[in-house]
Amino acid sequence: MRLSKKVWLIAGIAVLAVVLGFLFSSYFQTAAEHRELRDRHTLAQDRLPGLMAQKADLTNQESQARSSLETSQAKFPQSVESIAYGDDLFNIADESNVRITKLTASSPVDRQVGAITYSVSSFVVVVKGDVKDVLDFVHALRTTGDFQLPWSTHVKVVIIAYGSGQATINLDIYGYKR
């Protein structure tokens, strides 16, 4: 069976129409994707200056926060040291049967002793109790008594009012600084 030229021509036109239809479909789909990408690019370009300004603002906020954190961290250990020292002083007072009625502390300062740097806090401690117990308290401060403390004490002045059983003690606490 032989096909006529007319059939071959119609078959060729049909194949050509299918191929052209496929090409046009692909072209229009690609063109639509291209327009969408161009629109998204334009939108991104429009947002860029605002995002750059926001980034600069956030960077500035971060540097301010870091500075504030460093300042707070520098102060925090000093506060913790004074609180820990106070807690130890109250424990020693308990063991010595005296009552601390007033405790005043200064901010710690660094002091170089030989090759070692210490954090030194000055305290004024007012205690009340029997004179013997007050003397036991002072002795415990100088020797740390039965306590294993991470600091040492230099008792500078002890003023005892024998009639009232009250003593005012000025001391420096030396804490090893790393």
Q: Going from the N-terminus, what domains does the chain have, and what CATH number goes with each?
A: 75-176 (3.30.70.60)
pTM for the whole structure: 0.52
Average pLDDT over residues 95-110: 87
The predicted structure's pLDDT at residue 70: 78
Average pLDDT over residues 98-119: 84
Instruction: Indicate the pLDDT class of residue 75, thresholds 50, 70 and 90.
Output: low
The predicted structure's pLDDT at residue 114: 80
The predicted structure's pLDDT at residue 177: 67
Distance in angstroms (rounded) separating the CA atoms of residues 169 and 12: 114
